[in-house]
Structure 1
């Protein structure tokens, strides 16, 4: 008998979210898919809502906080920006959790995490643009444009990845241009 941990279940819920959207994060189908009883999930989570909350908080840590840590290892702000785009698009390409969460933005569990992540990401981008020499107001605008570009590219990875991959570097170049 395989004993699954809380972490195992949030990993499986993230995969279900990427593959089937918000509705796929349901205790009984998730347990059945893994050949487990629903009691195995309920041992770690009192409800679907609790499982969903733990899952999106895991996504926040892995796809925002850990990405920022990885990017910060780069020596220059430009290298950080390039690594950031390459990293987040690579993660988006491997699964569409981001798009599933965006589609579920009105959910009471997802909404506050998505707002927090969005602001954290935009704030980080603004810092990068300030480090590149842009005034704070302009840095914030570029951060918003960069984040919007990322969301558009993430959506396109789902439908037409062959169109996105060749323009990632050029997108960064456009964001770095002055005037």
Structure 2
């Protein structure tokens, strides 16, 4: 996996991380350049040293989010050897997603087709990863995609609702419990 541009430039990374915090705290309605600069404690001069324009920043922010909240998470989950442990780790990873940020991104996506495409890509990547992980364990070839779709619906529903983290974790654990109760592939029965 290649290093993201923000990893190579600490100032740029500082603005991107601040942008994600502003989205989480203030939502899309409060997502403004002045707020992002205030969050970093830096001036607009520092901002324009790192980004050509606000649009350039928005594009970089979306790529940063996709990398940090999806690509890196999926890559880390793939390093877990046991399919059961990997599925259990998905619940932990889903708990640790930046849910408030993602809620704001989903609102933003209703107004910006580029953000909408990025959100769809992230959702598709996450769904494919869950289907892959479930498919590594269970015998029924039709179940992985259904379980992944159900998991994604629970995630998006949680992010777009007032449900608390306890309800989200309970729903995810129910999906995992059902998944683990299904017949395993023959090569997985010894784990």
TM range (shorter): 0.7 to 0.9
The aligned residue for residue 73 of structure 1 is 79
1:42 to 15, 25, 48: 48
Contact 1:22–1:104 under 8 Å retained in 2: yes
Report the counterpart of residue 116 of structure 1 in structure 2.
121
Structure 1 residue aligned with 2:177: 173
The secondary structure found in structure 1 opposite 2:50 is coil
| Structure 1: gaps (5+ residues) | none
Please, which runs of 5 or more residues in structure 2 have no aligned partner? Answer: 1-8, 184-191
What's the TM-score, normalizing by structure 2?
0.78
- Does residue 1:133 correspond to 2:138, yes or no? yes
Q: Equivalents in 2 of 1:41, 1:115: separation in Å?
A: 28
Give the 5 Å matches for 1:1-179. Answer: 5-92=11-98, 96-106=100-110, 107-155=112-160, 159-166=163-170, 168-178=172-182
Question: Compared with structure 1, are the counterparts of its residues 8 and 118 closer, same or farther at alpha carbon in structure 2 (3 Å cutoff)?
Answer: same
Whether the aligned pair in 2 keeps the contact of 1:78 and 1:132 (CA below 8 Å) is: yes
User: What is the distance in 1 between the residues matched to 2:23 and 2:66?
Assistant: 14
**Taking structure 1 as the reference length, what is the TM-score of the superposition?**
0.83
Task: Give the Cα–Cα distance (whole angstroms) in 1 for the partners of residues 176 and 159 of structure 2.
Answer: 15
More displaced stretch, 24-33 vs 111-120: 24-33
| SS at structure 2 position matched to 1:43 | helix
Other structure's SS at 1:109 match: helix
Question: Aligned residue pairs: how many?
Answer: 174
Partner SS, residue 5 of structure 1: helix
Check the 8 A contact 1:85/1:150 in 2, yes or no.
Answer: no
Q: Distance in 2 between matches of 1:127 and 1:163?
A: 25
Going from structure 1 to structure 2, the CA distance change for 1:141 and 1:19 (only over 3 Å counts) comes to same
